[in-house]
Chain A
Amino acid sequence: MKPRIEVVAIDCLMVRLFDVIAEANMPWMLAATQRLRSDFGTALVDLVPSYTTLMVHYDLTALSPAGARHRIDQALADLQPQAQGSGQCHVLPVWYDLRVGPELSVLSQRSGLTVDEVIRRHSAHEYQVFALGFAPGFAFMGLVDEALATPRLSTPRKRVAAGSVGIAERQTAAYPVVSPGGWNLIGRTPAKLFDRERDGYSLMQPGDTVRFQAVDHAEFIRLGGDDTPLEAQP
């Protein structure tokens, strides 16, 4: 493990750990994150993890570019992967239904699987949270069963309901708030994904794992879900 360090901005360095997206990256990414956070301390402004990289944004009044580079080198020397299961595991209830997941039928047709089998496969896997982005609390998770991999919609929707669960290629995610979006929608979760009153704000953090659990309509409503069909939401 010899991470590459690249210049990206006056006060940002990119630590490139891998070249491909893989679930096996995560123990290394988590270990590197922890080391960088503790070694930079208050000189760290932000640490942005993504699938294969960690962007280190440091305080440029505290560190020179050379100093920051040196600090990264030190932090990542003798890096060891973090033991599995160090992130939190979340179970997200999902009401899989055509009324809130119109692309269930598309996925079924593309894969040749029944809708029930699509649901079963989506909810059978424990996904890794690779990164958060696009919107506060929007977690990019993977990897989805290859049979379910589906490209984004050619024309993104102007409005996707909060809680919508979708698939794009081999990734899955849930929309924290109403927003535009191009993912294939297969269901909806009642879980509150981003809450400014919650400690840590986002339900899912990079490095966490997530399992989706199919629930019926009654349970979805009981858990506080909003079943308003997609375009009718205010």
Chain B
Amino acid sequence: MSRLSIEASTPLCLLQDAGRFGVRHLGVTQGGALDWVSMAWANWLLGNALNAAVVEITLGGFTVKAEDYCLLALAGADLGAHIDERAISPGRSFVLQKGQRLRFTQPFDGARAYLAAPGGFDAPAVLGSCATVAREALGGVDGLGNALAAGGRLSYSGTGGALQELSQPALPTGGPLDVIVGAQIGQFSGQSLFDAFNTDWALDSRADRMGMRLLGTPLQYQGPSLISEGIPLGAIQVPPDGQPIVLLNDRQTIGGYPRLGALTPLALARLAQCLPGEKVRLAPVVQETAHRQHIEYLRRFQTAGRACSR
């Protein structure tokens, strides 16, 4: 077993995997890495299952010290990671010698970094997952939903993995965020539909793992009030004030606000790397097209070459 002691952390540094499934009908939220693409690449770098337990570090403020020789991988945002005094860029695996520190300072590019270890970090599976959801007291290293905290410890038991780096950025970049339009789309005013897909939306600072609010021209829903129903990941719900909220991994399982549609998983991964104040555009896409693009993207994990970093 290889161990890391946590010297600094924040409530936004969480153990995550793909999330909890098969329990949504019990009111249990999904949880899981917000930028699933970067989580998958971090794991890919070590030859792990793509959804093995990783640390999701949001904005920085996280420091670990190796208590043993550790092989780790990093993908996602550039949060100013350093091994002792040496800067290290995301998209690669690396060694932390016993006694060395890995430190994340502040966001330079993106918002969330993912740290992986061979075989995934050790954590109990709670309802099938180690995804940390503080609100539900589920997941994490202790199984009780607590964020990683200074004084705590991470460990992994897997072996193998090699030093390598990604030959391309982990995330597809540029362009609007794809929205699969939902059944209630016709109930928004024509002007609102135009505004939704032709104007900028700024990310509000009121954002967490449950949802991100988009600020812009308010959208007008003209349909009848709705009975609560299941909410998919990425749903863009429009409350009465007209400012849409993108519902993320820790969302409630059912809800009754009208919805514009739902972001595609690839769009969600990109959104997860946006900071408050950043502007995004939305673009409508049909389910079949989005599905095709998604399957195509997943193929990269099979075909991508592993470049030896040294």
Q: What is A's interface to B at a CB cutoff of 8 Å?
A: 6-12, 14, 20-21, 45-55, 57, 60-61, 64-66, 131-140, 177, 194, 196, 200-202, 205-206
Contact = CB atoms under 8 A, between A and B. Distances in A.
Interface in B23-63: 23-28
A202 B127 contact: no
B182 A132 contact: no
B227 A21 contact: yes
Contacts of B234: 9
A57 B22 CA distance: 10
Nearest to B27: A132
B20 to A, nearest CB: 9
Contacts of B287: 7, 10, 65
The residue among A10, A45, A66, A205 with the most chain B CB atoms within 10 A of its own CB is A10
B26 A136 contact: yes
The residue among A47, A55, A138, A202 with the most chain B CB atoms within 10 A of its own CB is A55
Contacts of B262: 8-10, 12
A9 B233 contact: yes
B138 interface: yes
B190 interface: no
Interface string B269-310: 000000000000000000110110011001000000000000
Tell me what chain B mostly uses at the interface: helix, strand, loop, or mixed: mixed
A65 B288 CA distance: 6
B182 A133 contact: no
Interface in B214-240: 227-235
B259 interface: yes
Interface string B57-86: 000000000000000000000000000000
A166 to B, nearest CB: 15
Nearest 4 A-B pairs (CB), nearest first? A55-B230, A48-B230, A9-B232, A6-B183
Given A9-B233, A49-B230, A133-B254, 10 more contacts: A7-B182, A9-B262, A10-B287, A11-B291, A12-B230, A61-B298, A132-B27, A136-B26, A137-B26, A196-B138
A50 B228 contact: yes
B93 interface: no
Nearest to B288: A65
Interface string B109-129: 000000000000000001100
Contact of B183 (A7, A131, A194): A7
Contact of A202 (B26, B182, B264): B26
Nearest to B23: A201
Contact of A52 (B182, B227, B235): B227
Contacts of A50: 227-230, 254
A128 to B, nearest CB: 15
B141 to A, nearest CB: 16
B294 A60 contact: yes
Contact of B265 (A10, A21, A48, A132): A10
Interface of B: 21-28, 126-127, 135-138, 180-183, 227-235, 252-255, 259, 262, 264-265, 287-288, 290-291, 294-295, 298
Given A12-B262, A60-B294, A65-B291, A55 B27 contact: no
A216 B295 CA distance: 59
Given A8-B232, A133-B252, A135-B27, A64 B182 contact: no
18 contacts: A8-B182, A8-B259, A8-B262, A10-B180, A10-B290, A12-B230, A48-B229, A52-B229, A55-B231, A55-B232, A60-B294, A64-B288, A132-B26, A134-B27, A135-B135, A201-B23, A202-B27, A205-B26
Nearest to B137: A177
The residue among A8, A45, A140 with the most chain B CB atoms within 10 A of its own CB is A8
Contact of A49 (B25, B182, B259): B25
Contact of A53 (B135, B229, B264, B290): B229
B253 A133 contact: yes
Nearest to B234: A9
B98 to A, nearest CB: 36
B288 A14 contact: no
A46 B138 contact: no
A133 B180 contact: no
Contact of A57 (B232, B255, B288): B232
A134 B136 CA distance: 10
Nearest to B181: A7
B291 to A, nearest CB: 6
B24 A48 contact: yes
A60 B295 contact: yes
A48 B183 contact: no
Contacts of B137: 177
